[in-house]
Amino acid sequence: MNDQLKGATEVEPSWVTVDLAIFTVRSERLMVLLIDRGRQPYLGQAALPGGYVRKNETLRAGALRELREEAGIDGSRLHLEQLGAYGDPPRDPRGRVVTIAYLALGPDLPVPVGGTDAEHAYWAPVSDITSATVRLAFDHSDIIADALEEVRRKLEYTAIATAFCGESFALSELRRIYEVIWGQPLDPSNFRRKVLNTKGFVQATGEQRLPPTGRPAALYRPGEARLLSPPLLRSNGHGT
């Protein structure tokens, strides 16, 4: 935004991209959408979907476009927030590349269809990346690690967990989101009490759903609250 140094010798033009960490919960695991790169560098290696920001396009619009183009996902119903900028030292003779990472959260999304290119898009367990089982292109492993930390913390003091659920959901589904992402079981009764006592977290639809077995569950939809106060904390301390 400032132009004080424009034209100074050390200044160079840059390329700005957006990369997307798209999270969902599938089969009891937190998954992230990956693509296999169809070109250099890192040809054939797994990476986050993303691409160059176009002229006259806001960063957010670019993220939404990539979401659609590379993952075949309509972003209008997803939670989408900016994670931050990653601008490691240049590795391309054409100039520096700075990527703006976006975090997208959605309900158990359909297996993505192939993107615009011949790139294969698929869900991978986040644990495979954080445990370094899968090695990603660029610094995408770092981005996913940051995204995971962000999600874990935000589950505590915001209502984003509902972004992983569909239009309506049972409290046990919402609780499963927490359990999967935090990697720890929660007491069903205490969770229910906490969620229902937090004004605006969820809103009863009045409908019910029959589980495969057991008592019918009341259904809820996301409430208007964005922040939870007091927050829903993990039992053991999460810091020092």
- Binding status of residue 230 toward a second copy by CB under 8 A: yes
- Residue closer to DNA (CB basis): 58 or 213: 213
Q: Which residues, in sequence order, are bridge partners of residue 221?
A: 203
Compute the least distance from the CB of residue 136 to a second copy, in Å: 10
Long-range CB contacts (< 8 A, 24+ apart) of 139-145? 139/86, 139/88, 140/19, 140/47, 140/48, 142/86, 143/19, 143/21, 143/48, 143/83, 143/86, 143/101, 144/21, 144/32, 144/48
Compute the least distance from the CB of residue 37 to a second copy, in Å: 8
- Binding status of residue 118 toward a second copy by CB under 8 A: no
CA nearest 117: which of 55, 69, 67? 69
Picked from a second copy, DNA, none, the partner binding residue 39 (CB below 5 to 8 A depending on kind) is a second copy
- Binding status of residue 233 toward a second copy by CB under 8 A: yes
Compute the least distance from the CB of residue 69 to a second copy, in Å: 9
Q: What angle do CA 158, 164, 165 make, to 5 degrees?
A: 110
- Binding status of residue 41 toward a second copy by CB under 8 A: yes
CA nearest 79: which of 97, 104, 98, 62? 104
- Residue closer to a second copy (CB basis): 185 or 200: 200
- Residue closer to a second copy (CB basis): 16 or 124: 16
- Binding status of residue 227 toward a second copy by CB under 8 A: yes
- Residue closer to a second copy (CB basis): 166 or 200: 200
Residue selected from 25, 31, 32, 48 as contacting a second copy according to rule CB under 8 A: 48
- Residue closer to a second copy (CB basis): 25 or 115: 115
End-to-end CA distance of the chain: 37
As a whole number of angstroms, the distance between CA 10 and CA 183 comes to 47
